[in-house]
Amino acid sequence: MPTIELDEASVRVPLPGRGEREVLAPTTLTLTERRIGVIGANGSGKSTLARLLNGLVRPTSGRVSVEGRDVVREGAAVRRLVGFCFTDPAAQLVMPTCVEDIELSLRRRVADGTTRRARAMEVLAANGLADHAHDSVHSLSGGQRQLLALAGVLALDPTVVVADEPTTLLDRANTRRVGDTLFGLDQQLVLVTHDLDLAARCDRVLVVDAARVVADGSPSDSIAHYTGLVDR
């Protein structure tokens, strides 16, 4: 599996007229497991941690690297390695139809339009969306939209998939479909989630609380730590 490293990486954001806020305290981690869960309360810093991994957020201090590539100095290379799936697929789906959306993802990879269309159709088929290729993205259900957004990320064959609460907007059946897709991936997965059933399927789970990783271990130990914080 790939190696993701955080070396004393912190994130502070300026608050106009009020100094700054630490949204992630200096954090050191080496992540080599296949499936890594990140859980914690709203506003604890999970998304910030996830966004550091592909350079969407830059560390204020310290270093973050993926496969030895620094997310700041080698940002383009890191973004090729790390696919990022957002909570709200609307953040990712910008083209009118499903097949055009996948083609947009592929534009830098496949120059020839006919080949690109064929590849996009394959990607849709692999994700159970072939029948919707020419449908409007807006006609899809929430679960189908999330699968389409994920398909757009997977079309680029990333080495690592970071998914930030990909099932939060979904009902139970779609949570299961998207969860099964994510846990069926060959790639390394970093999954930020409020769904403790999904967290329980990971190999290692980090608990974030008040801008710090406060627990890091097996799913059962980390989930127990988190529920202990909530029940405190």
Q: Write the DSSP assignment of 38-102 as a string of letters.
A: EEE-TTSSHHHHHHHTTTSS--SEEEEEETTEETTTTHHHHHHHEEEE-SSGGGT--SSBHHHHH
By CB under 6 A, the count of residues binding ligand ATP is 11
| Options 10, 27, 48, 65; binder of ligand ATP; rule CB under 6 A | 48
Name the residue with tokens 């004393």.
8
| Options 37, 40, 55, 143; binder of ligand ATP; rule CB under 6 A | 40
Q: Is the dihedral of CA 129, 130, 131, 137 positive or negative?
A: positive
CB of 42 to ligand ATP, least distance (A): 3
Q: Which residue is nearest to ligand ATP (CB)?
A: 47
| Options 6, 10, 45, 119; binder of ligand ATP; rule CB under 6 A | 45
CB of 176 to ligand ATP, least distance (A): 21
| Options 3, 13, 173, 210; binder of ligand ATP; rule CB under 6 A | 13
* Residue 114 touches ligand ATP, criterion: CB under 6 A: no
Task: Centre a 10 Å sphere on the Cβ of residue 217 and count the other Cβ atoms it contains.
Answer: 14
| Options 21, 73, 107, 109; binder of ligand ATP; rule CB under 6 A | 21
Amino acid at 141: S
φ, ψ of residue 181 in degrees (nearest 5):
-60, -50
Which parts of this chain interact with ligand ATP (CB under 6 A)?
Answer: 13, 21, 23, 40, 42-48
